[in-house]
Amino acid sequence: TCLKPFSQYGNLRAHERTRTGDTPYVYHTCLKPFSQYGNLRAHERTHTGDKPYVCKTCLKHFARSDVLKKHERTHSGDRRALS
């Protein structure tokens, strides 16, 4: 049993699903299951082509915010962008 503390009940429930393998969110087109709603939404963009995250420096569009953040480091010279 994991003893990781959570300040919000919903975060605890999402964490528990990663342990139990419970996947209550299923994308309707390809039927791929997800344990967290946010991951379902990110996957949905692979089907729709939606890229709502935009680099303010070069205006390149991204489907995921974490990929945008990594890209933005290429403009700042941050060496972590290479990893």
* pLDDT tens, N- to C-terminus, the chain (83 residues): 689 999 999 999 999 998 899 999 999 999 999 999 999 999 999 999 999 999 999 999 999 999 999 999 999 877 665 55
State pLDDT tens for residues 25-42.
Answer: 999 999 999 999 999 999
Q: How far apart are CA 30 and CA 48, in angstroms?
A: 12
Cα–Cα separations (whole angstroms), residue 15 to 11, 19, 20: 6, 7, 9
Residue whose structure tokens are 């390809």: 30
Q: How far apart are CA 83 and CA 69, in angstroms?
A: 13
Q: Which residues pair with 25 in a beta bridge?
A: 34
